[in-house]
Amino acid sequence: MSWQRINWYNTVFLLGTAVVTLTAVPVYLWHSGLSLFNAGLFLLFFILTGLSITLGYHRLFSHHAFQAAWPVRLVTLIFGAAAFENSALTWCDDHRRHHKHTDHEEDPYDISKGFFHAHMGWIMFKLGEPPTFASVPDLERDPLVRWQHKYYVVIGVLAGFVLPAVLGWFWGGADAALGAFLIVGVARTVFVHHSTFFINSLCHTLGTQPYSDRCTARDSWFMAFFTFGEGYHTFHHAFQHDYRNGVKVWQFDPTKWTIWLLSKLGMASQLRSVPEERIRHAEITEQQRQLATKMAALPAAAVAPVRAQVEVVQARLHEAFERWEKLEIEYRRAMEKKIETSREKVLQLSHDFREAREKLVAVFHEWEQTRSSALTAMLAGA
């Protein structure tokens, strides 16, 4: 590989912080130990910088999954810079291109080019044209985003390295300042980096695909614990504008909880979420694909009765979902323009929409029973 293809600035920073974390940090801990102050400050800065990426760079700026008051925007831009993952403008440009061209040549962190490329190779090597920011014209008009893009290196150094050291100095002098710089500054940066990088690599390699197999995105409950809920990656690729990634009640998604809490405090609004019916339909569509694959692997005569039963319910589901979807759009538009819509029309739409939803839910239950029966029959006849 030509040396000219290496992005030396990124490579030296990524490898340098990793080397310091693996050498200088253990030496400091050996001599001085880990104080509760540095442990607590590490956790605080890990949360601040991690959430600034997941909540700020990702769900707020990249996907407009919600709107936020200027203090929230400012804090996420400051501590997003302290995560040292580039400016919000550049990060969002890369991420929007990733969604537009997932698993294809134009995808900046295309997993088909290898695990290392998706994880960090794309940052270390110049593999494409310089960014044009063609996918982020809305962010280019944002004064706060423009300000952060211009000064993000200075902001990152001050908030990510200098601030912890200063806090350490006031807490316990030079030794505490050095510890805060190494642990809260450098080591924390490495942890946040790889937490983010694993979304692009591991969550496109290992895990389940309950919503779609149209791209390599995977759901990983394990990775959700290290990435503030970003591990539910199949859902995110299926419904990228939803402010939630862990959509189920039991799924670990502190980014979602933080956005919800901010909305209750009046600091966030217009939280975008996909209707439960649409999510369930996506799950069932993927179940249908998986069931069809299993039936195709068995003799046609053996699965003929099962196939006929499944096809009947699939047709019923398709019809029910189309009607629900049509009425959902009409009802939403009517509610958005109440002044222009008669009261009688709204009431009629409300009745029809509720009826369509009840019918769809009933067919969902019918599908669950049919699928269970089909799997049982196929297992018995295998």
The DSSP line for 45-95 is HHHHHHHIIIIIIIIIIIT--SEE-HHHHHHHHHHHHTTTS--HHHHHHHH
The label of the residue with tokens 């590989």 reads 1
Q: pLDDT tens digit string along 68-78?
A: 999 999 999 99
Closest CA to 374 of 316, 318, 290: 290
Please check whether residue 143 is in contact with residue 225, taking contact to mean a CB–CB distance below 8 angstroms.
no
The H-or-E segment that residue 306 falls in is: helix 300-336
Rounded CA-CA distance 371/363 in Å is 12
Q: pLDDT tens digit string along 193-222?
A: 999 999 999 999 999 999 999 999 999 999
Q: Check whether 374 has a pLDDT greater than 90.
A: no
- Residue 295 corresponds to which tokens in the numbers above? 């039936």
Q: Name the residue with higher pLDDT: 218 or 377.
A: 218
Closest CA to 43 of 34, 32, 33: 34
Q: pLDDT tens digit string along 139-150?
A: 999 999 999 999
Q: Check whether 296 has a pLDDT greater than 90.
A: no
Please check whether residue 276 is in contact with residue 248, taking contact to mean a CB–CB distance below 8 angstroms.
no
Q: pLDDT tens digit string along 160-199?
A: 999 999 999 999 999 999 999 999 999 999 999 999 999 9
Please check whether residue 156 is in contact with residue 82, taking contact to mean a CB–CB distance below 8 angstroms.
yes
Q: Check whether 128 has a pLDDT greater than 80.
A: no
Please provide the average confidence, as pLDDT, over all residues in the chain. Answer: 93
pTM greater than 0.95 (yes/no) = no
Average pLDDT over residues 117-132: 84
- Residue 298 corresponds to which tokens in the numbers above? 């068995």
pLDDT of residue 342: 73
The backbone torsions φ and ψ at residue 219, rounded to the nearest 5 degrees and listed phi first, read -90, 130
pLDDT of residue 268: 98
Q: Check whether 345 has a pLDDT greater than 90.
A: no
Q: Check whether 352 has a pLDDT greater than 80.
A: yes
SS3 12: helix
pLDDT of residue 3: 65
pLDDT of residue 339: 55
pLDDT band of 341, cuts 50, 70, 90: low
The label of the residue with tokens 């003799």 reads 299
294 residue type, one letter: K
Q: Name the residue with higher pLDDT: 75 or 331.
A: 75
pLDDT band of 381, cuts 50, 70, 90: low
Average pLDDT over residues 311-317: 94
Q: Count of alpha carbons within 13 Å of 42, Cβ hemisphere only?
A: 21
Rounded CA-CA distance 48/154 in Å is 18
pLDDT of residue 2: 58
Q: Name the residue with higher pLDDT: 93 or 336.
A: 93
Closest CA to 175 of 49, 37, 323: 37
pLDDT of residue 382: 54
